[in-house]
Structure 1
Amino acid sequence: MRHLLRTLWSQKTSIAFIQETHLKGKDAPKIRDRRFPQGFYATNSEVKRTGVAIIFAHSVPFLSSASQADPLGRFLFVKGMIAEHRYTFATIYCPNKGQHRFLAKALTQLERFRDGTLVLAGDLNIPLDPRRDSSAGTSTIPPALYKESKTGIKHDSDHAPVQVTLKSPLFNPRELQWRLNESVLTDTNFTTQITQTLTQYFADNDSPAIAPLTVWEAQKCVILGQLIILCTQWKRQHAANIVDLTHTIADLKTRHKRDQTDDTYLLLTDKRRQLRDLLSQKLLHTIWKSNRHFYEFSNKCWRTLARTLQQKQRQHHIHQVKGRDGTMKRALADILQAFRHFSRSYITSTPPHDERRHHNTYTV
C-alpha cells in the first residue's frame, strides 16, 4: 500500500479510483496516509477477490454528504461538495461474466444516487463501444471539464493505470523555487563541467579594469545559470532512463510470458536491477536530505513547526459557514465575506448601556 500511495503522489494524483483492493471486511486496513487522509471503501465480507476504493489527496477539500457501497465490493458511490461545486465520484469493478447485466443494475443505482458533476471510473471488463475503443484517442468527457488523459504502464498490477486531468476551480498555479540537487555533485562529468566553466570565466574576466569584487559577484550569477542548465539536463536524462527501463521491463515481461526462455528472464532481471538502482539513488538522496533538514532545524521554530501547524490546519479546514441570510456558504470568497461581515459587526457593535458608569458609589 505504501508503494501505491508513493506512486500516486509522484504522479500528482488528486483523486484515485482503485479496483481489486483485495480487502476483506470492514476491519480491513485502509489505503491512506498523511498525503491521502480521506478515503472511502467497499469490501466483501466473505472473499478478497473484489474491493474498490476512492481516496482523496489532502489538497482536495472534499466534503462528503453521502456514500453508497456495494456489499460485494463491486462498486462505490460518493457525493459531496468541493468549494461551491457538487460532485459525484463513482468506481465500478465489473465481474468477468454477466458484465452487461451487472453494469445495467449498477448504473441504474448510480443514476438515482448522483448529484452534480459525475466522475465515473473503474474496471468494466468490456469495451464501452467496440467500434470506438479507448485507443482511438476520443473522449466523451465534456470539453468544459476535460484537459488531457493518458494511459500508464503496468508495473504494480496486471492493469495499466489511466490518468485523466479535469479542470478545477481550485487550481492555483504556484511559483516554483529552484534548489540544487546535491546528489549531482557525486557525478564526475557534472563536476568537471562546473570546473571548466569557472576556469574559463575567471580567465576571460581577469583584468585590472574590472574590480575583483565585481568579478566575484558576477561569477555567482554565471555559475547559478550553469547549475540550473546542467541540473535540468541531468533530471531529464534521469527521468528518461526510468521511463525507458519501465517500458523495456513491460515488454520483456510480455515476451517472457509468451516465450518462457532463460535469455529473456536474465535480461528482464538485469533491467529490473538497473531500475532498482536508479530508484535507490533517489531514495538515498531523500533520506540524506531529510537527515540534513532535521539536523539543521530540529531546535528552531522554522518550517518543521510550520508544516506541523499546516497539517493541523488542514484537519480543521472550514468547508462551509452560515451567512447572514441563513444560507450555507461553500465558496472560498463567500466564506471570507461572511467572516468579514461578522468581524465588522462585532467590532462596531455598541455595548449594552450600564447604569453603574454614571454613579460614583455602588449599592451592595
Structure 2
Amino acid sequence: MLVGQIASTTLTLFNIYAPNGYDPDFWTEISSLLTTKADGRVIFGGDFNAVPQPSLDRKASGDSSGTPSGYPQDASLESFMLDHSLVDAWRLHHPGDRDFTFFSNPHHSYSRIDLFLVSLSTMPLIPTSSIGDITWSDHAPISMTLSIPSYTPAWSWRLNSSLLHKPEHILELQQQLRDYFLENDSPTLSPTTLWLAHKTVIRGHLIQLGSRLKKQKLASLVSLTKDLSKWETLNKLSPSDALTAQIKTIRTAIRQLLGEDAARSLAWSKRTYFEFANKSHTLLASKLRNQTRSKHITGARDGEGVLHTSPATVNKLFTSYFQTLYNHSPTHVSDSIPLGQSIDRFLS
C-alpha cells in the first residue's frame, strides 16, 4: 500500500496478489488496511485470482454459452467491492464485453483475474482502460489512464549507441559528415563555428535516424500485436493446438523485438558501472540527486497561513517571497529597508 500526492491529488495505491483459493482472512486484512490507512482516491491493481462477474469473466474450454458458475473467491471479491464501494474500471468502460487477462494451459480456460478496482470518486479521472495481449507470460497486461494535472519534465537528448552497431548506419553518418564539411567549409567561416555547428547537424541526423528506426520497429510490433490479438480471439472462442502453436510463434517474434530494448538497457548499465564505478561521476551524482529529491518541498504557506501543495503555487510563493526580500530599490517600502541600508554601508 502506498499513500501520497500527485499534483495536489491524494491517492492510495494497493498492489494486490490474492491467494489462489478461498481465503476470507486475506480480504479481512485488506479491508482493515483500507478503512484505517487509506486516504483520498483509492486504486487497487493486481492479480486478484477471482473475477467480479463469472458469467462474463470466465470461459472454460469448449464453453460457448459463457455462463460458468463462480468460485468461493469470486463471492469474496464481490462482497469486498460492495462493502467498500469499489468499481471495476475496465467493466465500466466495456459493459457487456468479454475479454480475458489469464490463460490456464492445464485447464485450457480463460479468465479476467487481473483488475483495476477504484473508488467511485476516482472513476471520473479515468477516461480509458484496456486489456493487452498475452505475450511474455500467461497473463495479459492491463492499463488505464489516470488524468491528473502534471508537469512535463524537460527533455535531454542522449546518443542511442545502438545506432552505431550496424555498418549501414555508420556509412550513412560518414556520408552526412563528408557532405556537411564539403558544403560548409569556406575561408569566411571560422573553424570553431564550423566544428560547433556540425554537432547540431549530426545530432539532428541521429535523431532522424533513431525516429525512423523506432517507427519501423513500432510498425512491426503493431502488426505482430494485431496478429496475436486475432489468433487470441479465435483461440478464446474455440481453443485448439494449432491456434496455440501460432500464438506461441508470434509471441516469440514479439519477445525478440522487445528483447533488443532490454539488451540495449543492459549494455548501457554495464558500461556505466565499468566506467564510473570508482569515480566521482554519474553514480555519485545519482546518489546526491536522490538526497536532493528526499528534501523536495511539497508544500508552502502563504502570508495568511494557508497551506498550498500545488507545484505551480509553491513556485509562485517562493518567487514572491524572494522578490520582496531582495527588492531594495529607493521606492520600495518594506521592513527590509534597514537591511538594504546595512548592505549599502558594507559595500561602500
The TM tier, using the shorter chain, reads 0.5 to 0.7
For the 8 Å contact 2:41–2:121, the answer to whether it is kept is no
Amino acid at match of 2:215: R
Shift of 1:178: 1.0
Amino acid at match of 2:27: D
Residue correspondence of structure 1 range 25-174 to structure 2 within 5 A: 39=14, 41=16, 43-44=18-19, 48-49=20-21, 70-71=27-28, 77=34, 80-81=38-39, 86-90=40-44, 93-94=51-52, 96=54, 97=69, 105-111=79-85, 120-121=87-88, 130=96, 146=125, 148-155=127-134, 156-157=137-138, 161-168=142-149, 171-174=150-153
Which has the larger helix fraction? 2
Structure 1 position 215 matched with structure 2 position 183: no
Per-residue CA shift, 1:35-76, capped at 9, x if unaligned? xxx8554744xxx1479xxxxxxxxxxxxxxxx962498998
Aligned to 2:266: 287
For the 8 Å contact 1:320–1:335, the answer to whether it is kept is yes
For structure 2, the residue ranges without an aligned partner over 5 or more in a row are 1-9, 55-68, 100-119, 322-348
- Equivalent-residue separation in structure 1 for 2:41 and 2:88 (angstroms): 14
Structure 1 position 190 matched with structure 2 position 144: no
Per-residue CA shift, 1:198-224, capped at 9, x if unaligned? 222223224444444433332222111
Per-residue CA shift, 1:300-355, capped at 9, x if unaligned? 333423433555677798989999x9x99683679999xx9xxxxxxxxxxxxxxx
For the 8 Å contact 1:321–1:335, the answer to whether it is kept is yes
Aligned residues with identical type, % of pairs: 21
Structure 1 position 275 matched with structure 2 position 233: no
Structure 1 position 237 matched with structure 2 position 216: yes
Per-residue CA shift, 1:98-120, capped at 9, x if unaligned? 79987874454215xxxxxxx74
For structure 1, the residue ranges without an aligned partner over 5 or more in a row are 1-14, 18-37, 52-67, 112-118, 136-140, 341-364
Q: Which has the higher contact order (CA 8 A, sep 6+)?
A: 2
- Equivalent-residue separation in structure 1 for 2:138 and 2:32 (angstroms): 19
TM-score normalized by structure 2?
0.55
Per-residue CA shift, 1:116-154, capped at 9, x if unaligned? xxx744677x99855xx699xxxxx88995364242412
For the 8 Å contact 1:183–1:285, the answer to whether it is kept is yes
3-state secondary structure, aligned to 1:166? coil
Structure 1 residues 328 and 230: CA distance shift in structure 2, 3 A:
same
- Equivalent-residue separation in structure 1 for 2:193 and 2:295 (angstroms): 51
Amino acid at match of 2:309: A
CA RMSD of aligned residues (A): 5.1
For the 8 Å contact 2:125–2:147, the answer to whether it is kept is yes
For the 8 Å contact 1:245–1:271, the answer to whether it is kept is yes
- Equivalent-residue separation in structure 2 for 1:223 and 1:128 (angstroms): 48
3-state secondary structure, aligned to 1:151? strand
- Equivalent-residue separation in structure 2 for 1:256 and 1:209 (angstroms): 70
Structure 1 residues 299 and 261: CA distance shift in structure 2, 3 A:
closer
3-state secondary structure, aligned to 2:146? strand
3-state secondary structure, aligned to 2:145? strand
Aligned to 2:240: 260
